[in-house]
Amino acid sequence: MKNSKTIINRIYAQAVTEWTVETAPGMTVTFPGGQMTHGGSNAVSVYSADQKAVIKAFGTMEKDALYLFFVEQVKGKDGDIGGYMPLPRQAGFIYDLPNNELIAHELAHGAFNLRHTFSSEEFAAAQGTTDNLMDYKGNAELWRHQWKKIQDPERILLAFLEDEEEGE
C-alpha cells in the first residue's frame, strides 16, 4: 500500500518503534474450491490448511522478519475480520480492503503479542469503545502498558493454545 511504511511508523512512534517495510512480488496460490478459507486452526496448528499453503508457496522466511499476505475474496470469514496474525507468529493475513491501521493491528499481534483491548486475558475496555489500535474501531492509539510490551514483548510459551479469535 502506498505510504504504508510512513503511516505504520507514525502509529508506532508512540512506542518509539520503527519498521522497515518491503514489498515482495505477488504470487498465485490455488485453493480447493477456488478461494482461500479463513479459520480452521486447531490445537495442533494456528494456521488453517489454506493459510499453510500460502506460507509454503512463499518459501523461506527470514528468521527476524514478519510477513503479511494480502488475500482477496476469502470465504468462511466473518465480515468483521479484516485480518489474522496469531500471537507470536511471523506470518499473518490481510483480507479484502486493507488499511494501515489494520496492518499495524495485525503486526502488533505477531511482533509484540498485543491482545485486543476486550480480550478476556487482558480486558481493558469493551469492544468498539476505544480509539486503541487493538480495538476494532480502526484507530491507532496505543496505551502506556502497550508501549512497554512493544519494547519488551511478553513470552508466550504455549502459543498454540491461544484462541484463533485473539489473532483476528
pTM: 0.87
> Coil, helix or strand for 108?
helix
Q: Per the domain annotation, does 10 fall within a domain?
A: yes
| Predicted pLDDT at 149 | 92
Q: Per the domain annotation, does 18 fall within a domain?
A: yes
Q: Per the domain annotation, does 44 fall within a domain?
A: yes
The pLDDT mean for the chain works out to 86
Q: Write out the residue range of the structural domain in which residue 74 sits.
A: 4-162
If one counts the domains in the chain, the total is 1
Per-residue pLDDT tens for 40-80?
766 678 898 999 999 999 999 999 999 999 998 887 666 66
> H helices of the chain, where?
4-12, 49-58, 100-112, 144-151
Q: Per the domain annotation, does 168 fall within a domain?
A: no
- Of the pLDDT bands very low, low, confident and very high (cuts 50, 70, 90), residue 155 is confident
Q: Per the domain annotation, does 57 fall within a domain?
A: yes
Eight-state DSSP code of residue 7: H
Percentages helix, strand, coil for the chain, rounded to the nearest 5? Answer: 30, 10, 60
Give the three cell numbers for residue 166.
485473539
Give phi and psi for 94, each to the nearest 5.
Answer: -115, 130
